[in-house]
Amino acid sequence: MRKGLSADLITRVLGGGPKYTLAELEEKYPPRNLPEGAFVTRFSPSPTGYMHIGGLYMSLIDYKLAKQTDGVFMLRIEDTDTKREVKDAAKIIVDSMKRFGFEYNNDEVYGPYYQSQRKDVYRSVAADLLARGLAYPCFLTAEDMEKIRENQKNAGFATGIYGEFARDRDISEEDIIRHLDAGEVPSIRLYSTGNPDNRIFCKDAVRGSIGFPENNEDIVLIKSNDGLPTYHFAHLCDDHFMRTTHVVRGEEWLPSFPLHTQMFRMMGWTPPLYIHTATIDKIDPETGKQRKLSKRHDPEANVAFFLADGWPTEAIIDYLGNIAASGYEEAKVKGQVKSFWDYELRPKKIPMSGVLFDNRKLEWWAKEYIATLPVDELVKRVRDWADEYDPQWAARIGDNPEYLKNILAIERDNPKRIRKDFITWKQTLQEVSYFWDDLFLSNKEYEFNKDLLSAFLSTFDICDDKDTWWAKIVAIAADKGVKNGDVAMNLRVVLTGRTNTPDLYSIMQVMGTDKVVNRIKDVING
RNA sequence: GGUCCCAUCGUCUAGCGGUUAGGACGUCAGAUUCUCAUUCUGAAAACACGGGUUCGAUUCCCGUUGGGACUGCCA
């Protein structure tokens, strides 16, 4: 154990004195007044790029856990890595939360919620550690550490600043002053008293108690370059003073679990309950191996891509939600719950092994979801999408909104038998594009029976009711000696260019006489 | 190399010592339909391997193998 630093030295070492004592912080950030069993969670992304599907998954769990217990869900931006920070990334995250309806409650009392604005908190806690001899200023340079790492590798030792390799671990006040006088700025390191020969047990809500060798690394608490905390130290300070009860984070944090447990004990604070989630993976097309969906290599991991493609956010929530709570799907199909928000998410049931992202299943959720939408709502959602992502479609719809509504209303009257052709807003429009002459692609492959088409044309009357219309088709089939379906298929392909469409009668009604007649004539004549 | 996590149909999973190992997506087949949609019916499809413990292991323990994560003044 080292001797604590004097107040004067602490101020110099930190580049400023502590603003608060620990007791003052406790008072400033009092325990929350919440009902028994309420979860306080937080989504804490670092603004280093776009919103990732894995981040969305974690924030869904965070939000759901807080919501179902009448707790609090916070959004905390971990912008402590000034080098990797990407402009507007925080805005994208905030926007995503809004779009998916994850309402966070960033109560002012516990803020600010940007870590870069919480230096006072970190510095105050660091000062306490320094005063107690549980942390020390370290003047090792990047080159020094590189050299140490090299030597460790060559000698077969574990890399890192620990024990005898931690040069400044027991640095004297005189030496500190000497470095300071030379204009050097130290980082603040943890004075670790952990011994790898001992085991420390860490509690995970899903995996239970996990044993690790104790941590003996003097990890950096405060970085020298910007005075900001590392993840570890920020986690300790923020989740304590924000009174987080449950920390949902990726399993990549498992290795630093003993460190975090050690730090909480050192402070005499009760650690939150941890939920280390599994990653959402894909099969790497090059190696053929399963790996985490990555920001750098997988554009499909970008939530913005799902939005631009017009996936209903509800379907994405359903899909992700079912991964987190596997019983949800069955409850939903059986009608026991209306949405994911009605289904209880149990922390213990959150999966702990990596999950392959399954686009087919997402498609299924999306089809099911869109099929539940009333026409007006469907039209609205499609239009909203077009307004934001596809100006051409937006203009086209804007010219005649009723037309789109009539198209999308086809075969939507019987709620039990709604076609499930629509997957995304974008694909919905593509699916019905044949209703517009300039988008209509006549089918060049299909061998039309012009005889049948002529016969239909001569009897066609848009005013016919459905029975009359069908009777005419049956009559033509009988007359020409073909099946009813043959006549129908010829009509289907001639009008839509496709072999699979909704009800033909409805299509003709929506298209109107001119389109129907012209398209048939084009084939007969051409 | 070290530490840690994980292991049931192709995929997501139910299972918490005795089950014909269940469901969902997907796949395939059949029925209905004007259609390759919908709806309905049915089928194929899994406990990684080896040791224990036990009357009995998918289930508990150990090992092996396989997959994953970490090993930064990044999170």
d(CA A377, CA A364): 19
Per the domain annotation, does A218 fall within a domain? yes
Q: A482: domain CATH number? A: 1.10.10.350
- What pLDDT score does A289 carry? 83
Give CA angle at A127 (A123, A162), nearest 5°.
100
Nearest Cα residue to A303 out of A32, A22, A509, A49: A49
Q: Is residue A248 in a domain?
A: yes
- Whether residue A289 sits in one domain with residue A350: yes
Cβ of A213 < 7 Å from strand B?
yes
| A477 and A519 fall within a common domain | yes
Q: Are A432 and A409 in contact (CB under 8 A)?
A: no
Are A340 and A422 found together in one domain? no
- What is the ipTM score, two decimals? 0.95
Residues A176, A248: one domain? yes
Asked if residue A443 belongs to a domain, the reply is no
Kindly report which amino acid residue has its CA closest to the C1' atom of nucleotide B13: A326
Question: Which CATH number do you get for residue A230?
Answer: 3.40.50.620
Same domain membership, residue A165 and residue A189: yes
Domain end call among A277, A293, A317? A277
For A169-207, b where at least 16 C-beta lie within 10 A, e where not — what string? Answer: bebeeeebeebbeeeeebbbbbbbebebeeebebebbbb
Q: What is the pLDDT of residue A323?
A: 96
Does residue A184 lie within 7 Å of nucleic acid chain B, judged by its CB?
no
Cis check for the bond before A347: say yes or no (omega within 30 of 0): no
Q: Chain B: nucleotides under 7 Å from a protein CB? A: 1-8, 10-14, 23-26, 34-39, 67-75
Expressed as residue numbers, the domain containing A507 is: 450-525
- Indicate whether A113 belongs to any domain: no
**Which positions ≥6 away from A515 have C-beta within 8 Å?**
A437, A495
Residue A82 lies in a domain: no
A167 touches A179 (CB < 8 A): no
Q: Same domain, yes or no, for A381 and A419? A: yes
Q: Which two tokens stand for residue A490?
A: 């010829």
Position A56 in a domain? no
Domain of residue A336, CATH code: 1.10.1160.10
What does the alpha-carbon distance between residue A453 and residue A526 come to, in Å, rounded to a whole number?
Answer: 13
Greatest alpha-carbon span in chain A? 110
Contact A1, A133 (CB under 8 A): yes
Q: Cβ distance A59 to A317 under 8 Å?
A: no
Question: Does A454 lie in the same domain as A402?
Answer: no
Q: How confident is the model at residue A74, as a pLDDT?
A: 98
User: Could you tell me if A287 and A238 lie in one domain?
Assistant: no
| Chain segment A106-142, per-residue pLDDT in tens | 999 998 999 999 999 999 999 999 999 999 999 999 9
Together in a domain, A487 and A399: no
Domain membership of residue A383 (yes or no) is yes
Picking from A371, A397, A413, the residue at the C-terminal end of a domain is A371
- Is A391 near strand B, with its CB below 7 A from some atom of it? no
A420 lies in the same domain as A495: no
The residue out of A277, A308, A335 marking a domain boundary is A277
Q: Are A227 and A15 in contact (CB under 8 A)?
A: yes
- Give yes or no for CB of A145 within 7 Å of strand B: yes
Distance CA A500, CA A492 (A): 8
Residues A175 and A320 in one domain: no
Residues A248 and A308 in one domain: no
Q: pLDDT per residue over A171-205, tens digit each? A: 999 999 999 999 999 999 999 999 999 999 999 99
* Beta pairing partners, A229: A222
Q: Is residue A79 within 8 Å of A229, Cβ to Cβ?
A: no
Distance A354 CA to B7 C1' (A): 11
- List the pLDDT tens digit at each of the 526 positions of chain A: 789 999 999 999 999 999 999 999 999 999 999 999 999 999 999 999 899 999 999 999 999 999 999 999 999 999 999 889 999 999 999 999 999 999 999 999 998 999 999 999 999 999 999 999 999 999 999 999 999 999 999 998 999 999 999 999 999 999 999 999 999 999 999 999 999 999 999 999 999 999 999 999 999 999 999 999 999 999 999 999 999 999 999 999 999 999 999 999 999 999 999 999 999 998 888 888 888 888 778 888 899 999 999 999 999 999 999 999 999 999 999 889 999 999 999 999 999 999 999 999 999 999 999 999 999 999 999 999 999 999 999 999 999 999 999 999 999 987 778 899 999 999 999 999 999 999 998 888 888 888 899 999 999 989 989 989 999 999 998 888 888 888 999 999 999 999 889 999 999 999 999 999 999 999 888 7
Question: How many domains does the structure of chain A reveal?
Answer: 4
Nucleotide nearest to A139 (CA to C1'): B73
